[in-house]
A and B are shown apart, each in its own frame.
Chain A
Amino acid sequence: MTDSKYFTTTKKGEIFELKAELNSDKKEKKKEAVKKVIASMTVGKDVSALFPDVVNCMQTDNLELKKLVYLYLMNYAKSQPDMAIMAVNTFVKDCEDPNPLIRALAVRTMGCIRVDKITEYLCEPLRKCLKDEDPYVRKTAAVCVAKLHDINAQLVEDQGFLDTLKDLISDSNPMVVANAVAALSEIAESHPSSNLLDLNPQSINKLLTALNECTEWGQIFILDCLANYMPKDDREAQSICERVTPRLSHANSAVVLSAVKVLMKFMEMLSKDLDYYGTLLKKLAPPLVTLLSAEPELQYVALRNINLIVQKRPEILKHEMKVFFVKYNDPIYVKLEKLDIMIRLASQANIAQVLAELKEYATEVDVDFVRKAVRAIGRCAIKVEQSAERCVSTLLDLIQTKVNYVVQEAIVVIKDIFRKYPNKYESVIATLCENLDSLDEPEARAAMIWIVGEYAERIDNADELLESFLEGFHDESTQVQLQLLTAIVKLFLKKPTETQELVQQVLSLATQDSDNPDLRDRGYIYWRLLSTDPVAAKEVVLAEKPLISEETDLIEPTLLDELICYIGTLASVYHKPPSAFVEGSRGVTHKSLLPRTGSNESVESPDTAPSGGPAADQPSVIPTQGDLLGDLLNLDLGPPVSGPPMATAPVQMGAVDLLGGGLDILMGDESEGLRSDVGGSPAMGGTGGSFTPAPNTAAPTNVGAPLGTGLGDLFDLTGGVGTLSGSYVAPKTVWLPAMKAKGLEISGTFSRQVGSISMDLVLTNKALQVMSDFAIQFNRNSFGLAPAAPLQVHAPLAPNQSVEISLPLNTVGSVMKMDPLNNLQVAVKNNIDVFYFSTLYPLHILFVEDGKMERQMFLATWKDIPNENETQFQIKDCSLNADAVSSKLQGSNIFTVAKRNVEGQDMLYQSLKLTNGIWVLAELRIQPSNPNLTLSLKCRAPEVSQYIYQAYETILKN
């Protein structure tokens, strides 16, 4: 009596037989026949030929039969659209049925029939069902709107279903709310611009109420939706967090992870001083650990997310190392993830335990896992300096096992250890050399060759070793060839007398016999260096290498912040933003972490390579918001006591940026290998990311800036300060009042003279103690303004004394879009404390001297810029004539390209260029009788227009 009987076929031809049965008079027989049809469908057999016969069975009062027919319809309606129309009448009738179950079933099924002709008939029943008295019908109808939108988005909008759906968010039944949210989220995903989920405190409150009462799946939808909300302030964030926290105890792990996402995101807004912040941190750990006792598939997803969380907030799980120890029966994908997290959590306190575990893992069976374990030991050495010695000896033990892949992996990591701790562990080289013959993987060979080349002077038979590699030069992979070339050149520079022949051999191999352009180019460079200036060659090839950084595979902070917003989603599994992989990324909007609005906040690790890039990259230098996540408060400030002289930091960072970006542009992709390799450092695939520029390690990381209300003030100030007056250099205004800065008063203004921008400051000591050790730093800003020199106050500032300083600025600093655009956040340090203030700089200090455009060029550009980029402003009460205006503006680098007189009005066509290369074109209309001027601005980056207008007004009125 089982359903398997439906699968048996008869001799006569199944379809024929079924047809007869479907048309039978007996209800029972009909039902059995439909079941057979469904059974064939489930295994992918094509039974679409029976369509009319099955549809005929639809008009029945037997609910099971009805459901079965509906199941069939959903599958095959698409292939038989004309026949499907036959079913419409029954659907419409069913939508009026007194039984809510049938009403819901009808509207549900109709939505699943993806046939245009049917959708037209669906609208009326759907509208009724959305307002049905029974919540079960309403919640089904909510989902149906999403289905319909998928088939015909325009129809849904025209019929106003979206508004009805939005109304359902306020429904009295939590289930309906949850489904409405789910449907809206799905629709919003394909229509990023439509702003469907317009969240405000009232709707948030409703969602939070529904959250407690709806099903687990509904909770997931609501939590995911909550995560997109931006609370107004830290209070609101805290109250949401409080109401979300109970979800951490839910049995459904997806609910737990979605709750974690909301908390991680809103925590960003809470001040670290709050007691609540600490409580929240403590509450996050246990549920995350509990996720690891679930099924392996769940564990895997949880671990990928924990990996992100550990990078963002290591404090949450720092005491939970043991739960990440690998169990022998974990699936391999769980093992590998656990290993990764173990290394991230490794610290001086637990390193002994971790190492003991890792050594165990290195003797396991699975090759991938063993390799990763060996690599992990190396990473521990690099991360925790105190453990380096122990790690090296563990690695040597492993090399003694002579297991081929273990040895190779060990050699690759030992090379990294050498780079991190030069001149410390070279005694092991002898042991490494013993294993030379067993290396057959390119990465290991390349690592070994690098070691030989780097320490050629300590290895007696270095030349023999390298020569032995040279024999099969052509069979090696490019990686090894490049490495061999560099190593031999190094050897030659160290022992020129014995190895001349060898170096000639390798250079000719590389330049004449190879068709790899990278290899050939590098060969030529070395050749020329060696032949023209051996001393220079030595300086280049044997240059001191920057130390490799501790964490080699950290996710870049901006990306990490974005990924935190995607906890629990596919993005978090792949560690890539959705835009990178979601099909047809039309639906993707960047998400960002919220800036903290509470009081002070410590600093995140400095980001040496902002993704916005230097000005040269693109005409519009203002990077999209998405790239700048959470960097608003990224002041790389040292603490007042121990920090390095900070004025130098921004300059340094600017330089790094320039170099990074510039080189890329200059040399294109091919330069990649060169840049990292000319200096003789190995460019191995796996470790390529580890060569972070030096400033990264040198710059202060993670320092709490201890001040009471610093940042709060900073935000208060933005509105009022910086009113511009005076003739193109505004008089100084007080930027930082003495009472907010423990007696230091700062007033200042900005000026531009012959191409250089400066910030003119007056520092006044209104305290009773002497001030010294001044330093200044800017936060990233829209135009990359940064101090070009340290703040130099030569003598200590005695009480009641003032000093005037002109601080030269450049525009090569890090770029981040600010709001308002010309906002500049400044930190000033002295021997007492660090103070923050923000000010608005007049945009005309950024107008460069070569901002005059050719007439033709002007015309072409004006036409080229789309009309929607044009903005018009009124400059009131300016009684100057055209010539006076023109000359006044010229003084500020706004150049008049042409002048026309049209019907008594003077039209001035002007151009200007900003430091970042943005051109702004202007048309200024002056009517003799009217004191008001009309200014039309056209620019490819229309967001600057507003500020250009302000600059015009400032210049013209003073």
Chain B
Amino acid sequence: MIHSLFLINCSGDIFLEKHWKSVVSQSVCDYFFEAQEKAIDVENVPPVISTPHHYLISIYRDKIFFVSVIQTEVPPLFVIEFLHRVADTFQDYFGECSETAIKDNVVIVYELLEEMLDNGFPLATESNILKELIKPPTILRSVVNSITGSSNVGDTLPTGQLSNIPWRRAGVKYTNNEAYFDVIEEIDAIIDKSGSTVFAEIQGVIDSCIKLSGMPDLSLSFMNPRLLDDVSFHPCIRFKRWESERVLSFIPPDGNFRLISYRVSSQNLVAIPVYVKHMISFKENTSSGRFDVTIGPKQNMGKTVEGVVMTVHMPKAVLNMNLTATQGSYTFDPVTKVLTWDVGKITPQKLPNLKGIVNLQSGAPKPEENPSLNIQFKIQQLAISGLKVNRLDMYGEKYKPFKGSSFVSDGEQEPKSLSSQNFT
């Protein structure tokens, strides 16, 4: 099971260590540093590293490496999932998962880690339970504590800990009973130069914020549940009901949580809400090229496309770019050769356009490669997959809750292969 945990910042300092069994010397991290050096880019450090006596399994989150040391055969996914859970918990407790936040709350961090894992076995990882055991820091509480001498460690057994619904604490009370569901969808698409979709997939999640008193039993139904190809559920959802009736029936945790995540792909045609017209060419022998890109909205049911950002990885030979944008602003980083164009909102009347001259390294051969364009955008009030919530019912409690749901579509698409020699 998980032996030890080291937190390492980007400059390679170990700023926290925690051992659940015997103490493992910091020197074990040298193997990790070695791998890090080899990987050049921080993102490319392999997640599983073997050393003569231990295995190091790491994740990279918010500029911190969470490196766990294990000694026996343990499912690596189990370790990685757990590490992400640790990072999530920090985020939840301190508002951010950063080195300063962790150092500022080092005692709470230590108490949390101790509570989350016992002898390498996960003990309590549900945020509801943890918050009952160890109260999150607030300015008010620390002031009160210093006056009254009380502590931020709960001294009773969390009620949810052992019930069949460990995710919910008992005795929840709200004056305003509210339930919100945010449907957030992300399109991931690869489009070739002729505009046809090579690959498109929608990753969706329903994030909920439930503030309901007592033990509400909710059921959420969709107009078109068959749309979903694959779903991953929060443990609170009753799988049997979904299997038989396609209804999400659950007793929700208190507060914010991810209800389901789902995937919609090939079977259902995914309509891409934006299109790109592009003209990128490099002239032979003149060490310059032309660049002309226009973005426009496609069918999107009258909703506006917002927050559009385009990034282009230009070929290595590009020295600089002289462009004019009809809308938004652009930057070009000559070191990483990344062009970023922050477009903003697209208005169909006046399509945003970016064009100008590309300066190439003199004497360099004409670049072969064709840059891929990556476009990110947001559409409010629309789930791109067409997923629609039918109704939400509540059983078990008498009050009338306020119900709300919102939809956001995030897009990320990668039209590739802009020159004519590909995809013939």
Contact = CB atoms under 8 A, between A and B. Distances in A.
A569 interface: yes
Given A101-B156, A363-B369, A331 B48 contact: no
A190 to B, nearest CB: 8
B19 interface: yes
Contacts of B74: 569-570
Contacts of A446: none
Contacts of A578: 73
A360 B162 contact: no
A143 B77 contact: no
Interface string B366-393: 0011001010000000000000000000
Interface in A561-579: 568-571, 573-574, 578
Contacts of B235: 215-216, 250-251
A297 B59 CA distance: 6
A39 B111 CA distance: 11
A3 B157 contact: no
A322 B266 contact: yes
A143 B118 contact: yes
Interface in A349-388: 353, 356, 359-360, 363, 365
Contacts of B162: 135-136, 173, 175
B50 A35 contact: no
B66 to A, nearest CB: 10
A894 interface: no
B221 interface: no
A124 interface: no
B258 A42 contact: no
Contact of A359 (B22, B78, B161, B422): B422
A359 B424 CA distance: 13
A325 interface: yes
Interface string B150-178: 01111111000110101000000000000
Contacts of A251: 232-235, 258, 260-261
B230 A289 contact: yes
A269 to B, nearest CB: 23
Contact of B156 (A99, A213, A287, A571): A99
A85 to B, nearest CB: 19
A332 interface: yes
Interface core residue of B41, B142, B153, B229 (most chain A CB under 10 Å): B153
A570 B76 contact: yes
Category for how many chain B residues contact A? 35 or more
A108 interface: yes
A43 B232 contact: no
B97 interface: no
A3 B258 contact: no
A356 B422 contact: yes
Contacts of A583: 53, 71
Nearest to A401: B368
Contact of B152 (A64, A144, A287): A64
B157 A295 contact: no
A298 B81 contact: yes
B340 interface: no
Contacts of A134: 157
A246 interface: yes
A189 B230 contact: no
Given A39-B107, A42-B18, A63-B153, A328 B374 contact: yes
Contacts of A179: 121
Interface string B1-16: 1000000000000111
A42 B113 CA distance: 12
Contacts of B260: 251
Interface string B108-126: 1111001000110111011
Contact of A289 (B44, B109, B239, B263): B263
A3 B104 contact: yes
Contacts of B53: 583
Given A136-B161, A254-B81, A286-B230, A42 B110 contact: yes
Interface stretch (A65-73, A432-440, A731-739): A65-73
Dominant SS among interface residues on chain B: mixed
Interface centre among B43, B81, B188 (most CB of A within 10 A): B81
Nearest to A104: B157
Contacts of B263: 286, 289-290, 293
Given A42-B18, A43-B15, A582-B72, A143 B151 contact: no
Given A289-B263, A301-B80, A570-B48, A71 B110 contact: yes
B335 interface: no
B201 interface: yes
Interface in A240-289: 246, 249-254, 256-258, 286-287, 289
Interface string A43-81: 110000000000000000011110110010001001000
B422 A360 contact: yes
B98 interface: no
A189 B70 CA distance: 14
Interface in B115-142: 118-119, 121-123, 125-126, 139, 142
Given A217-B122, A251-B258, A64 B233 contact: no
Contacts of A157: none
Given A571-B73, A587-B72, A3 B108 contact: yes
Contacts of B288: none
B190 interface: yes
A864 B16 CA distance: 58
Contacts of B153: 63-64, 67
Interface string A1-37: 1111011000000000000000000011001000100
Contact of B14 (A44, A135, A246, A333): A44
Contacts of B372: 328
Count chain B CB atoms within 10 A of each CB in A28, A220, A224 and give the residue with the most.
Answer: A220
Given A71-B114, A401-B368, A569-B74, A43 B17 contact: yes
B26 interface: yes
Contacts of A293: 188, 201, 203, 263
Given A7-B103, A323-B265, A325-B190, 17 more contacts: A3-B104, A3-B106, A6-B107, A101-B157, A186-B72, A215-B235, A217-B121, A217-B122, A249-B230, A252-B81, A254-B81, A297-B80, A301-B48, A328-B414, A331-B43, A360-B416, A569-B73
24 contacts: A2-B105, A3-B108, A4-B106, A64-B111, A101-B155, A112-B20, A114-B21, A140-B118, A175-B166, A217-B78, A217-B121, A251-B235, A253-B81, A287-B230, A289-B265, A293-B203, A293-B263, A302-B77, A322-B198, A328-B372, A353-B198, A359-B422, A570-B55, A570-B73
For the complex of A and B, the 9 pairs showing the least CB-CB separation, nearest first, are: A286-B230, A2-B104, A64-B151, A64-B153, A297-B47, A254-B77, A217-B122, A254-B78, A63-B155
Interface of A: 1-4, 6-7, 27-28, 31, 35, 38-39, 42-44, 62-65, 67-68, 71, 75, 78, 99-101, 108, 111-112, 114, 134-136, 140, 143-144, 146-147, 150, 173-175, 179, 182-183, 186, 189, 213, 215-217, 220, 224, 246, 249-254, 256-258, 286-287, 289-290, 293, 295-298, 300-302, 322-323, 325, 327-328, 331-333, 353, 356, 359-360, 363, 365, 401, 568-571, 573-574, 578, 581-583, 587
